[in-house]
Structure 1
Amino acid sequence: MSLITLTTDFGLKDHFVGAVKGAIYSELPEAKIVDITHLISPFNITETSYILKNAYKSFPKGTIHIVGVDSELSTENKHIALELDEHFFICPDNGLISMVASEVNPTKIVEINIHDYIESSFPVLDVFVQVASHIARGGSLNIIGKEIQSYKKLVEIQPKVNQDQTIIVGGVIYIDNYGNVITNITKKLFSLIGKGRNFTISAGRYQFKKIVNQYNEIVDYTVPSEQRMYDGNKLTLFNSAGYLEIAIYKSNLETVGGASTLLGLGYRDTITIEFDTVVKPEFVPINS
């Protein structure tokens, strides 16, 4: 039985999501469809890439992932299907696969060519569903496209490191439902460049000199609960996906507010980490 996921910026008001699901069931009555999200910010490729990277690994091998964000076909925005980490992805070649493929190279990539006999202004419905159905029936990728060797890569998802490796310059790539700000700086890069040195994280007008391991680490549980005043405190940590996150403890967008609103941080804003020049003597190399 085929398992197909949907990730789009269609929202939930219009008919688009329902139409795509109906088309899948028409082709594959026994299919199982899982919505990853339909609330991607319109045309936000970086946000799509982040969400897809952190969602797909939870699905069983062989899952087919349809991704409909900025999917209109053009000479600069081809459609591709690829096999990666024993999963299949059907999406526009606009860079959204960059983060997913940052650690695992695709086994095969094809440029979809069935547009020759399918005219559509809604390619997710008319083209991507057909490709997904073909794969679900055990069809080869080579039947629906010409094999290619590369895909578009997003430059903005890669943080930069200065020449003497004392500064990492990253940016905001996603703001979650709690208003937490996720950057493109990974724990792996932080450890590799930082080498145990003291640091200062600069985010807008705010600075941080400590990264906690979990949100409630800032709470002193020796203080009686009625005397604790931590809600709304700002903090930084590496989230479950391994990316540096700037958060507000127990944030609530309707009351306390989130890091994005309270700290004035938005998509693509710059986040900088500056390290001391002296490496701590007790530092143990990451690959030791």
Structure 2
Amino acid sequence: MSLITLTSDFGTKDHFVGAVKGAIYSELSDAKIVDITHEISPFNITETAYILKNSYKSFPKGTIHIVGVDSELSEENKHIALELDGHFFVCPDNGIISMIALEIKPTKIVEINIHDRVESSFPVLDVFVQVACFIARGGNLTVIGKEIEEFKTNVEIQPKVDHEQNQITGGIVYIDNYGNVITNISKKMFHEVGKGRNFKINARKHSFSKIFAKYNEVASNSTYSHQQYEGHKLALFNSAEFLEIAIYRSNLDTVGGASSLLGLAYRDTVTVDFINEPE
């Protein structure tokens, strides 16, 4: 049985997701299809990269991941298939894969070349499904494309380190369902650069000098009820080990989330300044 995941910005109102699943079942009747999400913001490569990085490892090795975001074929936007960390990805070469590949390099990458046999305005259906099913049958990547050495990187995903200024400059790459704001600053980078020093996190007019281990630590004073802490802002490293700015027990219908309450949006700059102790 083949395990194939789908990640896209198609939404669920239209026929696109159903058509892709139908095409897969027509090729592989025993396939197992898992929807990671179809609610990616339209054409948002950075958001796609974040979600893909933090979901693919939960699947068994050999899983095939079809990624349909900004997938229309052009000279600048080729289609690729690759093997990475024991998984296979079929996706556009638009930087989507670069967050996963920051630390783990692909074993093999090919530029898909079956387009001369298929003309399509819906490549996920007409091209990506064919490639995914071919891989699921045990096909070699080099049969469906020419092997290449490089793929496009997304510089927006990578924060910058200024060692002279003792500063990390990152940005907001994702806003989750609770309105929590996730940056591209990893826990690993924070500790490598900070080396245990005091720090100040700056996001617009808001600042933080403490990072909590979990959300409810902000309500650690037993004198008060948890309800009295609702709406408090905090910084922490989330389960994906990226720096996150959150509102304790946020409710988008009542209290609001960090994005709305703090005025933080996708692509906003977030900096971490490390403070040297006086000699």
- Within 5 A, what are the aligned runs for 1:20-39? 20-39=20-39
Residue in 2 that maps onto 1:263: 262
Task: Normalising by structure 1, report the TM-score.
Answer: 0.95
- Per the TM alignment, residue 124 of structure 1 is displaced from its structure 2 partner at its CA by 0.0
Equivalent-residue separation in structure 2 for 1:23 and 1:118 (angstroms): 15
Task: Normalising by structure 2, report the TM-score.
Answer: 0.98
Structure 1 residues 279 and 125, CA gap change in structure 2 (3 angstroms) = farther
- Per the TM alignment, residue 50 of structure 1 is displaced from its structure 2 partner at its CA by 0.3
- Per the TM alignment, residue 277 of structure 1 is displaced from its structure 2 partner at its CA by 2.0
SS in 2 for 1:202: strand
Structure 1 residues 163 and 195, CA gap change in structure 2 (3 angstroms) = closer
**Corresponding residue pairs, total:** 279
Cα deviation code 1:63-89 (max 9, x no counterpart): 000000000000000000000011000
Residue in 2 that maps onto 1:274: 273
- Within 5 A, what are the aligned runs for 1:1-288? 1-220=1-220, 222-223=222-223, 225=225, 228-278=227-277
SS in 1 for 2:96: coil
**Contact 1:196 1:279 (8 Å CA) reproduced:** no
Structure 2 counterpart of 1:19, one-letter code:
A
**Contact 1:197 1:279 (8 Å CA) reproduced:** no
SS in 2 for 1:172: strand
Structure 1 residues 202 and 242, CA gap change in structure 2 (3 angstroms) = same
Equivalent-residue separation in structure 2 for 1:124 and 1:170 (angstroms): 32
- Per the TM alignment, residue 38 of structure 1 is displaced from its structure 2 partner at its CA by 0.1
**Contact 1:11 1:39 (8 Å CA) reproduced:** yes
- Per the TM alignment, residue 100 of structure 1 is displaced from its structure 2 partner at its CA by 1.1
Equivalent-residue separation in structure 2 for 1:237 and 1:192 (angstroms): 17
Moved more, 112-121 or 159-168: 159-168
Structure 2 counterpart of 1:74, one-letter code:
S
- Per the TM alignment, residue 61 of structure 1 is displaced from its structure 2 partner at its CA by 0.4
**Contact 1:195 1:279 (8 Å CA) reproduced:** no
- Per the TM alignment, residue 278 of structure 1 is displaced from its structure 2 partner at its CA by 2.6
**Contact 1:85 1:106 (8 Å CA) reproduced:** yes
Structure 1 counterpart of 2:264, one-letter code:
L
- Per the TM alignment, residue 102 of structure 1 is displaced from its structure 2 partner at its CA by 1.2
Equivalent-residue separation in structure 1 for 2:220 and 2:109 (angstroms): 52
Equivalent-residue separation in structure 2 for 1:130 and 1:71 (angstroms): 15
SS in 1 for 2:91: strand
- Per the TM alignment, residue 223 of structure 1 is displaced from its structure 2 partner at its CA by 2.2
Equivalent-residue separation in structure 2 for 1:27 and 1:248 (angstroms): 46
